[in-house]
Each structure stands twice: as structure tokens, then as C-alpha cells.
Amino acid sequence: MLTPALPPQGATVRARRWRRLRRAVALPLAALALSGCTVPSFGAHPGATSSSKSVYHLWQGFSIGAAVIGALVVALILYAVLRYRRKGDRIPAQSQYHLPLEVLYTVVPILIVFGLFAATLVVENKEVSNPKTNVVVDVNAFQWGWKFTYPGTNALVYGQTTQNPEMVIPVNTNVRINLSSSDVIHGFYVEAFNFSRYALPGVLNQFTIRAQNTGTYFGQCTQLCGLYHSLMWFRVKVVSQSDYASWIATFNNPTAEAAAKAASKTTSQQTASLVPSKPSSTKFGR
């Protein structure tokens, strides 16, 4: 009877080390895949306004910095574990008071924090700045709809729940938004703008947006505000400046003016009575 030949001891050790290496590489890769991390966006929207693009780039910088520092920390931990793992009762050589190294790992993190703070400050200043503009939209949130009024014109857009009212603004133009609420706290949020702001009763929130591309963008209320909160949607339609002027002009006729006044009156009556109209259908879409 023949006895199968056993693999050499060296081959067995190499195979064992190879299996350990594969596990060490597979585990972080599996964790990264399961996290759903998307590169290079890291889960954020690229942005459709000038300020939202700045926010997006800031988020990318933070994410890349976090990934680099995290990888460095993991590498140092693995190096310490493998290089200085216990071998019998021998204690590795000890060292202390390495001044250049201590200065390095103290100063570098401080510089990183200052750099991130400065970048955040620049982007935040862009986000909250309100440059002068001739295009103003008064946005009023109420249970459960939106009203968009354009001061100095007859333009008014009003809609509830499944009606998805549409705010029209010109492209590459600073648009001042005066945001308010008629009843409870609502949230004005447009995903493509990387922007959200509270609509508060008795408080006027002002901000400026500058859309860089034409198109229609989905918006919604982000604060739980009552029964039909999930249906409190709206759209932002960005058009060329000539199309915007033509759209504003469509409200300059007796029929459109009467319709705007009727819509405004309906809104006032419903918000005053605290009995908003119930949606006629539960089927809706963006």
C-alpha cells in the first residue's frame, strides 16, 4: 500500500501565509463593497447650482482625506501587530522621547484640521451669501403644499400634495428666495441643489440660489409636518432667461390675474381654517 507523499514543510507554511493574506485583503474589500460607497461622488449629488457644486467638492475632499488617514491608521496598526507580535517571552525594544516623531504626529493633525476648517468656511460663506438680484421668489409652505409668488409681477403658482407645484427660475441668475411657513415647521429641500432650509412660522429665511443648468429638479418637505407630509412635493424648473421672461408675461392678462387671485384666496382660506384640502388620489409621481 502506497502512502501519499506529504507536501514539504516550507510549502505548508507558505500556503498558510497566503490564506491569511487573502483573508486580510478580502475583509476590508468586502466591508467597502457592503458599505455601498460610490466613487468619486461618495454618495453625494454633483450639484446643479454654483454653491451646491462647491459643497460637493468639499464633501469629496473630506471623504478622500478620511479614506487616506483611515488607510494610514490601519496600515500602522497592522504593521505593529505583525512586526512586533509576541515571540516567546522576548519583549521588543522600547523607545520614548522621539521628539521629531512626536512633533510630526502633533503638528500634522492640527494642520489638517485647520485646512478642513478653512475650506468649510469658504464654502459656507458662499452658501449663506445673498448678492443683489432682481429675481425674487416668495416661497410659502403650508399643510400640505407650496405657494410661489413673484413680487412685482402677477405670477403666482400654488399647489397641494399630488399637484406638485412648480417654481420657475432663470438659469445662471441669482434668485433670492424668501422662505416662510403659514402653520408648522416645514423643510425646503432640493436634492440636486444639495440644499435644505427650514420654513418656520413667523420667521423669514432668505437665501440665494444660482442654477447653472436648465432642467426640472425634484423638491420636497423634509420635516414631519402632518398627515400628508409624504405628498408635500414641488418642482424647480430652470429655464433660459428668455423663456423665463415669456413665462412671467403669461400672467399679465385678466384671466391669469384672476386665476392667481383666486388661488391666493383659496390658500388664505385653507390655512386660516387649518383644514387643507385632501388629495384626490394616492397615485403620484415625480
Asked if residue 248 belongs to a domain, the reply is: yes
Asked if residue 261 belongs to a domain, the reply is: yes
Asked if residue 209 belongs to a domain, the reply is: yes
pLDDT at 4: 55
pLDDT at 32: 67
Closest Cα partner for 279 from 242, 245, 232?
A: 232
Residues 117 and 201 in one domain: no
pLDDT at 37: 66
- Contacts with 164 (C-beta within 8 Å, 6 or more apart), sequence order: 233, 234, 235, 284, 286
Mean pLDDT by 10 residues, the chain (286 residues): 56 74 75 66 74 84 86 87 74 77 87 90 83 88 90 84 86 91 91 88 89 90 88 91 88 71 64 50 35
Instruction: Produce one character per residue of 69-83: b if its CB has 16 or more CB atoms within 10 Å, e if not.
Output: eeeeeeeeeeeeeee
Rg (CA), the chain: 29
Distance CA 31, CA 27 (A): 6
Q: Under a CB-based contact definition with an 8 Å cutoff, are residues 221 and 203 in contact?
A: no
Please count the structural domains in the chain. 2
Residues 140 and 121 in one domain: no
pLDDT at 238: 93
* 8-state DSSP, 90: B
**pTM value?**
0.68
Closest Cα partner for 149 from 135, 132, 128, 162?
A: 135
pLDDT at 257: 66
- Domain ranges, residue 148: 135-273
- Convert the pLDDT of each residue in 244-262 to its tens digit: 988 888 887 777 667 666 7
Residues 124 and 223 in one domain: no
Residues 67 and 169 in one domain: no
Distance CA 138, CA 146 (A): 10
Residues 61 and 145 in one domain: no
